[in-house]
Amino acid sequence: MKTDKILLDHGSGGKISHHLISQLVLPHFDNPILAPLNDGAVFDLQGKKFAFSTDSYVVDPIFFPGGDIGSLAVNGTVNDLAMCGAKPLYLSVGFIIEEGFSMADFQTILASMQFAARAAGVLIVTGDTKVVQRKAADKIFINTSGLGVVSDHIHISGKNARPGDQILLSGFIADHGITILTQREGLTLESPLCSDTAPLNHLVQEMTAACGNIHTLRDPTRGGVATTLNEIAVQSGTGIKLYEAAIPIRNEVRGACELLGLDPLYIANEGKLLACVSPEDAAGLLQVVRANEFGCNAAIIGEVTADSPGQVCMETAIGGSRIVDMLAGEPLPRIC
């Protein structure tokens, strides 16, 4: 898609974002550490392996059931590091604040970040605060970057998925995105929803301790499970088969999606992970994940195949089959 302007779609995490990154950003910054395009960069330094990741948070509204922009910013970067198989250690935080923003709200966000950092076991070690004039930013944006260490024996990457791998999903999909959307639009559901924002690093630590050979880990944030699985299929040159009936989803989320005409497979999660593992490891790993508070609704939702490389195909609940493409447009701007 050619355009001379940046569009909301360019920030969707979907197809148009990928086009922007691969056609515009990568050719400028190209280097072997950036090229794999995992959730963070992994590199050797002084004989040890490290992971380094960054994300800016522009979610609207900044406070929502289950969290706020502060906890989201901490958990998001913790999770990006965890998806590299790293133990997250240190975070930086950069605030861009609109003049006139409430000091009390800022305090609430700071407290929430510190609470989230404690829960994840990371330290916020360096920071920066910029203030811009009214209308030059919308309330508050937060960047967090993070540093973690990766054990020598861990080799987790989107490109490592291989035919036969089982695909594990750690719980219900689309909770975060649908929560933000209903808050923003002022929709009232019968059973109120909560964002799933959570730190997944302890879960990942339990997983890597139990299974020394996890091939791929990825958290399906912007663009949802569908987009993340498409990324894995492209990176690894494999096909992916999904079983619709196996995908955990809350009834109220399914209902909200039907009402709004949204496909929950494309809706952002902020406390879920996808893992690709050999079939012989899958059942054991599923047990481990289910034993963790953030994985109790985990399920095997599909498998990696040798045919249709780069494509995700879903066996539907009614026995049909359909291609699940990468997110194309931007159904939900400023979801994270």
* Residues 130-149 close enough to bind a copy of itself by CB under 8 A: 130-133, 135-138, 141, 143, 145, 147, 149
The tokens for 111 are 């407290």
Site for a copy of itself in 52-81 (CB under 8 A): 52-58, 60
Judge contact between 132 and 99, C-beta under 8 A. Answer: yes
287 binds a copy of itself (CB under 8 A): no
Nearer to a copy of itself, 96 or 234 (CB): 96
Q: Is 95 in the site for a copy of itself (CB under 8 A)?
A: yes
> Which region, judged by CB under 8 A, interacts with a copy of itself, from 43-51, 61-69, 227-235, 286-294?
43-51
Residue in 21, 119, 211, 260 binding a copy of itself, rule: CB under 8 A = 21
Count of CB atoms situated within 10 Å of the CB of 93: 22
Q: Between 314 and 333, how does the x/- string for binding to a copy of itself read (CB under 8 A)?
A: -------------------x
Number of residues near a copy of itself (by CB under 8 A): 79
Residue 299 has φ and ψ, to the nearest 5°, of -155, 155
Stretch that binds a copy of itself, among 107-115, 232-240, 257-265, 273-281 (CB under 8 A): 107-115
Q: Which of 22, 102, 316, 321 binds a copy of itself (CB under 8 A)?
A: 102
- For residue 129, the minimal CB distance to a copy of itself (Å) is 6
Please state the separation of Cα 299 from the chain's center in Å. 17
| Nearest distance in Å: CB 251, a copy of itself | 31
Q: DSSP secondary structure string, 255-316?
A: HHHHHHT--GGGS--SS--EEEE-HHHHHHHHHHHHTSTT-TT-EEEEEEESSSTT-EEEE-
Q: Which of 19, 110, 183, 278 binds a copy of itself (CB under 8 A)?
A: 110
Cβ-based neighbours of 56, under 8 Å, separated by 6 or more: 141, 142, 143
Q: Is 213 in the site for a copy of itself (CB under 8 A)?
A: no
Q: Is 28 in the site for a copy of itself (CB under 8 A)?
A: yes
* Amino acid in the structure at residue 173: I
Comparing CA positions, the residue from 32, 76, 17 lying closest to residue 196 is: 76
The DSSP 8-state label assigned to residue 158 in this structure reads G
